[in-house]
Amino acid sequence: MDEKHINWQYEDGDAFFVHEVSVNFTPVQIVIDMKNITPRVDQRTRTGPVFKVRHNVVMFDPYHAKKYLGLLTQVVQRYEKEFGKIAKPKAIEKLEAKQKSKKSDDKKGPTYFG
């Protein structure tokens, strides 16, 4: 039997922390858009912060999205078994309480930095 060798080439993406996720779907795919939001301050212009948004998109067919959901659920359950229940960070609870105390007409949508 002849052995065939396959040459694999991998292109690794840049890892980044996800601050925001949006999920959408079509009849044939589920799209997960993960965003990283980073404030930048240009010392030369001193105009205040500029927000850089990077995003990576992952597309699944519905079957594989469901398999991924099952895998992610298993991993979170194992994590909580080993390290304890995952709780909402106190800073987020404080922000949510602050937003609830404001009048509804004062809200300008989500805020990422207080």
The confidence score (pLDDT) of residue 52 equals 86
Domain boundaries of the chain, sorted by first residue? 20-102
Tell me the three state secondary structure of residue 25.
strand
The confidence score (pLDDT) of residue 86 equals 96
Rounded to 5 degrees, what angle do the CA atoms 110, 34, 96 make? 25
Q: Tens of pLDDT along the chain (114 residues)?
A: 678 888 888 888 888 899 899 999 999 999 999 999 888 877 777 777 788 889 899 999 999 999 999 999 999 999 999 999 999 999 989 988 988 887 554 555 555 544
The confidence score (pLDDT) of residue 51 equals 85
> Within its chain, how far is the Cα of 12 from the centroid?
18
